[in-house]
Amino acid sequence: MAESENIVAETAEKIFADLADAQTINHDKKGAWKEPLWRALTEAGLPLSWVPEDCGGSGASMAEGFSVLSAAGRFAVAVPLAETMLAGWLLAQTKIASPDGAMTVAPASPKDRITLNADGTLSGRARGVPFAKAAKHIAVLATGTGGSSIALVDAAACRIEAGLNLGGDNSDTVTFDKVSPIVIKPTPKGFDQSTLMLMGGVARSLQIAGALESMLDISVRYSNERVAFEKKISKFQAVQHNLARLAGESAAALAAATSAADALANATSFDDEVFLEAVSAKIRCSEAAEKGSAIAHQVHGAIGFTIEHILHRYSLRALAWRDDFGSESYWAVELGKLVAARGADELWPLVASR
């Protein structure tokens, strides 16, 4: 990790540790913690990490931005940090300046499409858009007869139907009914919806891996505190076996997510090798979220399911993040298509190249 990347990650960690303590948030039923946290993140320039300075951002590297997302996952923060970062990155592809305030991206599912009409307006419906209700602007990838375009849209101009994901965070349906964008520009050559989905998938993979790290720490700590039959439950072989499995799932998710992030940070294009890394990370991290969450709750027993305990903040968000930017089942099919198209003789060279 480069020194600058260390500094960015340490800054994010400190802000989260000071203002996003899980126990404090869990007891704050009115959400008063969100505004100070968002203000601190904004002052540090983290939401616009991937936006060049000439477009109003921090000009951080891809790797530095990914380190922020890893930290955000470890604290399971319920603010649109990742979404604003992705929106800023999307807008920066066509040198559109990022506005102040929270943003999100649309579409957030590979099956949804936003259409660019002949008159320059946008039409379509995007489901499961994270934090659309909280966003002031939406970065939109639209498709028209002349190809793809990236647009900056005022969220107030869209019809937004509120929804919630498993973690209790906004996952909304955004309808574009001939919405006029603030700015719209054609995408660079080779940039399409799959590119956006892969970038979002890697972001979610890092967040899931971070959440699993925290679930492991919480579970190990609890097992060393909880006493049953006159000894700590960490001394029971069944519990030790479960914790070893959870550690394995966490390690696998972290390895897959960081490998994909490294591939993206050093890539010049979204080629088959990057596709393999990003898709594999999303699939493996999503599987780890399911298995790891079950193990963590099993270690905690009944207390882990209560609203008062912090475990659900991590487990439910990790499970919810599986569906954003394509589920593991969707990407498994797409990965199978890539392997089939390249042929059996190309499978091993493709895998070994990574």
Q: In sequence order, which residues have a C-beta less than 8 Å from that of residue 57 and are 6 or more positions away?
A: 45, 48, 49, 50, 51, 88, 92, 98
- Domain end call among 155, 190, 225: 190
In a domain, 86, yes or no: no
In a domain, 89, yes or no: no
In a domain, 53, yes or no: yes
Residue type, 300: H
- Please compute Rg for the chain using Cα positions: 20
What length does the chain have? 354
pLDDT score of 2: 54
Output the domain CATH number for residue 203. Answer: 1.20.140.10
% of the chain at pLDDT higher than 90 = 80
| Number of domains making up the chain | 3
Q: Give the number of other CB atoms < 10 A from CB of residue 309.
A: 18
Mean pLDDT confidence for 77-89? 96
Report yes or no: 320 and 290 within 8 Å, Cβ to Cβ. Answer: no
pLDDT score of 143: 94
pLDDT score of 119: 95
Same domain, 178 and 224: no
- Domain end call among 36, 62, 77: 77
pLDDT score of 146: 86
Tell me how far CA of residue 228 lies from CA of 221, 235, 272, 303, in angstroms: 15, 10, 52, 14
pLDDT band at 4 (very low <50, low <70, confident <90, very high): low
- Domain end call among 77, 111, 131: 77
pLDDT score of 39: 96
- Name the phi and psi angles at 175, rounded to 5: -110, 125
Distance CA 90, CA 200 (A): 10
For residue 346, give its domain range: 193-352
Tell me how far CA of residue 97 lies from CA of 39, 183, 327, in angstroms: 20, 9, 31
For residue 292, pLDDT beyond 60: yes
Distance CA 59, CA 62 (A): 9
119-146 pLDDT per residue, tens: 999 999 999 999 999 999 999 999 998 8
In three state form, how does the secondary structure of 24-68 look? Answer: HHHHCCCCCCHHHHHHHHHHCCCCCCCCCHHHCCCCCCHHHHHHH
In a domain, 279, yes or no: yes
pLDDT score of 27: 87
Residue for token pair 């616009």: 48
pLDDT score of 343: 87
Backbone φ/ψ region at 230: left (φ over 0), alpha (ψ -120 to 50), beta: left
Same domain, 123 and 202: no
pLDDT score of 354: 67
pLDDT score of 29: 82
Same domain, 29 and 16: yes
Same domain, 157 and 211: no
Tell me how far CA of residue 22 lies from CA of 12, 16, 309, in angstroms: 15, 10, 9
10-51 pLDDT per residue, tens: 999 999 999 999 999 988 888 899 999 999 999 999 999 999
